[in-house]
Amino acid sequence: MNVWEAVADLVVVGSGVAGLTAALDAAGAGLRVVVVTKDSADAGSTGWAQGGIAVVLGDIAGDSVAAHVEDTLVAGVGLCDPVAVRQILADGPAAVSRLRARGARFDGPAARLDRTREGGHSAFRVVHAGGDATGAEVERALVAAATDRRLPLLTGHVAVDALRDARGAVVGLAVLDDEGRPGVLRAPAVLLATGGYGQLYASTTNPATATGDGVALALRAGASAADLEFVQFHPTVLYTGPTVGRRPLVTEAVRGEGAVLLDRAGHRFMAGVHPLADLAPRDVVSAAITRTLAETGADCVHLDATALPGLPTRFPTVYAACREAGIDPTTEPIPVTPAAHYSCGGVVTDLHGRTGVRGLYAAGEVARTGLHGANRLASNSLLEGLVMGERAAAAVLADRGARSPSGAAVEPPPAVPIAPR
């Protein structure tokens, strides 16, 4: 029996980059929005993101959205949806501008932000914050904007099931509150922004929230999921012995700025494996490390960052994690192995966050838009969360015939067929 009940126009499940972006947009357009999140507001993967956001802002000579699209398609190993790649990346610059307008501060002068490079990128196009604490800044800015707007954000509330009417449309959400009491949020639109499922693996970079709840909930509601097998393993996760659970990431930007991988004999094993060597796409580097470990019998390989100037200030998160593990990365190589990092597949949506079930939407890492194919290009996921959070909010508005904040009628987005491969 339900102990409590509330009503909203939109219930957003998850308070990471995708959920809060959508919630802020929808609330700004006048919808009554409630966000539920099963832990503290900042407990999802967003707050842990290090490297940055991949985006072409138009101020780097020689770089272009077309080049970003090409790099994404190559990293996705031929399994991306090219239309999704082009549309989502093209919306990136405006979405990042709106995030900055909401208060997020990135490294470098406002007129020309600093950029770094990560695996698979042909240019320095990744904006970052706090050195290697980009996600913490994104989450801080979005939570602050939600607080300013007095957006109802129910922490410690677990979404357990979508409620459906007799025709199968989603009409609300069953929730356990922070005291474990069952309740119901009635709403004609529910947006899943629950993140990925890295915690299904023994060793992962993902926080405890990443248990795939959104995929389970969507499947039970009758939606489809696809590409679930494409779980990206990040090549360089700090190795401190055969532990299980979340392990600290050593961002790819460390290699982007000059660090190299070494086997137990001190040889650079990525040379000759791929034209981008140590900066090859993640699947290529992870596979090469796994091969090297099998061939040498070692427990880990090493990432030599000793030649990087100013590592403690440029990568404060990585430096602190290493020091905590008793390693000084300025004088000795960092022991690393691959670990589960990113769920490329998920709930199938169109390019406006719609699932195949009326009233049910999904955005961010929980969703499968076709952007990532078999392997996500580094730092494309915060961007996808921003763009698809905005697009999902616009779709919710369009689907209920609402009006935009400017008062103009919201154009219904073109229908995109939902077709899992």
State the nearest-atom distance from the C-beta of 242 to ligand FAD, in Å.
20
**Among 86, 255, 282, 391, which one carries the catalytic annotation?**
282
Q: How far is CA 215 from CA 3, 169, 221, 223, 346, in A?
A: 26, 17, 10, 9, 6
114 binds ligand FAD (CB under 6 A): no
49 binds ligand FAD (CB under 6 A): yes
- For 84-181, list the strands marked E by DSSP: 126-127, 153-155, 158-164, 170-176
State the nearest-atom distance from the C-beta of 165 to ligand FAD, in Å.
22
Among 42-50, 225-233, 267-275, 348-356, which window interacts with ligand FAD (CB under 6 A)?
42-50
Give the nearer residue to ligand FAD in terms of CB position, either 52 or 120. 52
State the nearest-atom distance from the C-beta of 367 to ligand FAD, in Å.
8
- What whole-number distance in Å separates Cα of residue 2 and Cα of residue 319? 48
By CB under 6 A, what part of segment 181-200 binds ligand FAD? 193-195
- What whole-number distance in Å separates Cα of residue 25 and Cα of residue 22? 5
Of 364, 370, 373, 374, the residue at the interface with ligand FAD (CB under 6 A) is 364
Among 10-18, 55-63, 322-330, 354-362, which window interacts with ligand FAD (CB under 6 A)?
10-18
Q: What are the two backbone dihedrals, phi and then psi, of residue 76, each rounded to the nearest 5 degrees? A: -75, 5
Q: How far is CA 64 from the centre of its chain?
A: 22
Host H or E run for residue 141: helix 134-148
385 binds ligand FAD (CB under 6 A): yes
∠ CA 80-282-79, nearest 5°, is 15
- What whole-number distance in Å separates Cα of residue 182 and Cα of residue 180? 7
State the nearest-atom distance from the C-beta of 269 to ligand FAD, in Å.
24
Of 9, 10, 12, 14, the residue at the interface with ligand FAD (CB under 6 A) is 14
Q: And the tokens for 70?
A: 């090409």
Of 135, 256, 346, 373, the residue at the interface with ligand FAD (CB under 6 A) is 135
51 binds ligand FAD (CB under 6 A): yes
In residues, how long is the chain? 421
- What whole-number distance in Å separates Cα of residue 21 and Cα of residue 252? 26
Q: And the tokens for 352?
A: 């406006």
- What whole-number distance in Å separates Cα of residue 55 and Cα of residue 4? 43
45 binds ligand FAD (CB under 6 A): yes
Number of residues that bind ligand FAD (CB under 6 A): 43
Active site residue 403: no
72 binds ligand FAD (CB under 6 A): no
Of 57, 74, 123, 158, the residue at the interface with ligand FAD (CB under 6 A) is 158
Q: What are the two backbone dihedrals, phi and then psi, of residue 144, each rounded to the nearest 5 degrees? A: -65, -40
Residue pair 302/336 in contact by the 8 Å Cβ criterion = yes
* 163 Cβ contact list (under 8 Å, min separation 6): 170, 171, 172, 173, 174, 184, 186
Of 8, 36, 84, 85, the residue at the interface with ligand FAD (CB under 6 A) is 36
State the nearest-atom distance from the C-beta of 72 to ligand FAD, in Å.
12
38 binds ligand FAD (CB under 6 A): yes
- What whole-number distance in Å separates Cα of residue 419 and Cα of residue 421? 6
Among 218-226, 310-318, 361-369, 390-398, which window interacts with ligand FAD (CB under 6 A)?
361-369
By CB under 6 A, what part of segment 204-243 binds ligand FAD? 205-206, 209-210, 213
Question: Which sequence positions are flagged as catalytic?
Answer: 282
| Residue ranges that bind ligand FAD, judged by CB under 6 A | 13-19, 36-39, 43-46, 48-53, 134-135, 158-159, 193-195, 205-206, 209-210, 213, 249, 342, 364-366, 379-382, 385
